[in-house]
Structure 1
Amino acid sequence: MSSATLFAVNETLEEALLAEWTALRSLWGGDDSWVGDALRPVIESAFITPELRALFPFTSHNSLCFSRCSYYPFTLDSPCIAAWPDEYIVQALRAATDEPPLEPVHTTDLDLAITTVIDNLPPNRATWLGDADHPPD
């Protein structure tokens, strides 16, 4: 692959990441339910955190989750943050390795929740356009 082609692929990937984050921020920015109120600060904090902004975000119920791929089915190897009115719970989305799963971390400190997610991200954080069933070679 030429450097011009690689640049175009990386540019497209960066555009896709930004588009997903923008759409998620817009969606939950106007939600005045308890879920929206709980998720908004989590989404905004994750967005300004480079390690998390480099992953594709998605929500499931009241949880902010992270994927290395852009489309469903998503990768399930990154922790997620369940947002409640007065608490954050960092938990494994699903054990994707033989490693023991992350024990849920309950906290009222959003910074601690974000740091816990970062500390438990998989070593391979390569992102791609596509789904988990079709990773790049």
Structure 2
Amino acid sequence: MTLLQGLHHVALIASDYARSRDFYTRILGLEVIGEQFRAERGSWKLDLRLPDGSQLELFSFPAPPPRPSRPEACGLRHLAFRVTALDAVLAHLQAEGVACEPVRVDAATGRRFSFFADPDGLPLELYESA
């Protein structure tokens, strides 16, 4: 019996909401499907959609504590996005001033991939599909 049907969303907390909003919408091109300020929490919530229907929720909170992400900290290791034209996406990111790691090849699948980081240093991966 299959219990899970797919990934619905991933939630991220940004240290600088405006900077992260710009990164995920303008630079990565995610579609805004909802945005609200939650006054009782002093918090923004931005709902973003990827072309496959999966979503990212981007939150802001006053003074969020830092969370270790490297080296190999327990918890979320990275968030990977599927792309069809890795070189074109990397060129776009680099033109926007986003540093990207050299392209590597997944030994198990033969697929190419690269890593970069969001404005808070969250490791993000681009994984080239067929």
Q: TM-score normalized by structure 1?
A: 0.28
Q: TM-score normalized by structure 2?
A: 0.29
Greater percentage in helix = 1
